[in-house]
Amino acid sequence: MAQNNGSHIRRKKKMKKGKKAVLILLIAILCVLALLLIAGGIYIKVMLGRIGRINPNDGNISYVDSIAPDPLEPDFSGVIVDDPVHINDAVDSVNSIEIQGNTKVISNILLVGVETDVGTRDDVNNYSGRSDSMIILSIDRYHKTIKMISLLRDSYVAIPGHGYGKLNSSYRYGGFELLAQTIEQNFRIKIDQYIAVNFKAFTIAVGAMDGVDIVLTDAEIDQFRKNNQKVPVKTNDEGLCHLDAEQALYYSRIRAIGDDWGRTARQRTVLQALMSKAKSAGIGTLHNVLYEVLPYVSTNMSENEILGYVGSAPTYLSYEVDQMMLPDRDEWYKVYVKGIGSCLGLKDPTETVLGLHHFIYG
């Protein structure tokens, strides 16, 4: 859909085919909800009622009554897209790049992992923590692809009304709305829909599945020991360890080995292990997981929108998946900012943002 002059073709070669772990976890939840939708409308209302709903006007979370779903999305196969995105590669600054958003066939959703209790009924206004992980999930229903863009939390960006700081600080200052505004200003992508998952949901899910089995390196095990964590025990020569919920959470957040790139890889490893167990779990176990996890999930989507994605979840499983890091390894430099600490600065912000747009809309 996007037009380009060839300067960004090389970037496409750098986009690694993503391990589907993060995506599969989200789609698995949607698929189970889809089964419940088929089984009975009343039950699906009960489950959806446990999801926190964010009011876009004030950031507060409420719990709303269910409403009828929209029709399932149409099949765009063979249809000529009449709203192509035109990307101007000749711009000389980020502010000159046109802001892009959803189209008739592309939906961009911001997935956020947060440290606070936002999403629970007890602390609906808590934005005291930073967003720990941020992924733009771009669903292209025309080309049948899903693209995942991991935004590195230490990126040094302009935060509307707050000067400059790390990307993940924008959530602390103003919740989801300010985080979305920060992404729009710095990366020229308008985000209308977002989903947040509290990390408590992570430990609940792993605990309900009776832990996960993961191969750990000696260096990773040593990190548990150095930081006074319960040390995993190897069960074979390959380093396979059984991790309980707290151990799995600690493992997924190790940054001393491989920095942010290694950390995100470990998160995918845990989610992949979790999904392997979920595939063989009974419907009763999956129900229990969803029932306990959903209160720690928050979104600004209406129930119509949620049910639209629920109905399409089985289709999304067949989509090709690509992913990228933003910034990529060769696009940043380390900078120390007084009062903030070590940050990631962009070598060529304009080039990086144009590359992002070509990745999503190309």
Note whether 235 and 323 are within 8 A (CB).
no
Query: CA 216, CA 240: separation in Å to the nearest integer?
Result: 6
pLDDT tens by residue, 98-142: 999 999 899 999 988 776 655 433 343 444 455 777 889 899 998
When pLDDT is averaged across residues 26-40 and rounded to a whole number, the result is: 53
pLDDT of 276 > 60? The answer is yes
Query: CA 76, CA 123: separation in Å to the nearest integer?
Result: 42
- Residue 180 C-alpha from the chain's centroid: 13
pLDDT of 38 > 60? The answer is no
Predicted confidence at residue 70, as pLDDT, reads 38
When pLDDT is averaged across residues 239-263 and rounded to a whole number, the result is: 85
Predicted confidence at residue 308, as pLDDT, reads 82
Instruction: For the chain, list the domains and their CATH numbers.
Output: 16-83+92-209+281-329 (3.30.420.590)
Instruction: State the pTM of this model.
Output: 0.72
If one compares 125 and 161, the residue with the highest pLDDT of the two is 161
Predicted confidence at residue 83, as pLDDT, reads 61
pLDDT of 320 > 50? The answer is yes
Least confident of 115-124, 142-151, 314-323: 115-124
When pLDDT is averaged across residues 49-62 and rounded to a whole number, the result is: 61
Provide the token pair at 96.
């000159």
Note whether 232 and 147 are within 8 A (CB).
no
Least confident of 241-245, 281-285, 343-347, 357-361: 281-285
Query: CA 149, CA 60: separation in Å to the nearest integer?
Result: 27
Least confident of 5-9, 22-26, 150-154: 5-9
Predicted confidence at residue 69, as pLDDT, reads 36
Least confident of 218-227, 248-257, 302-311, 325-334: 302-311
Distances (CA, A) of 355 to 30, 48, 51: 30, 37, 35
Query: CA 73, CA 71: separation in Å to the nearest integer?
Result: 6
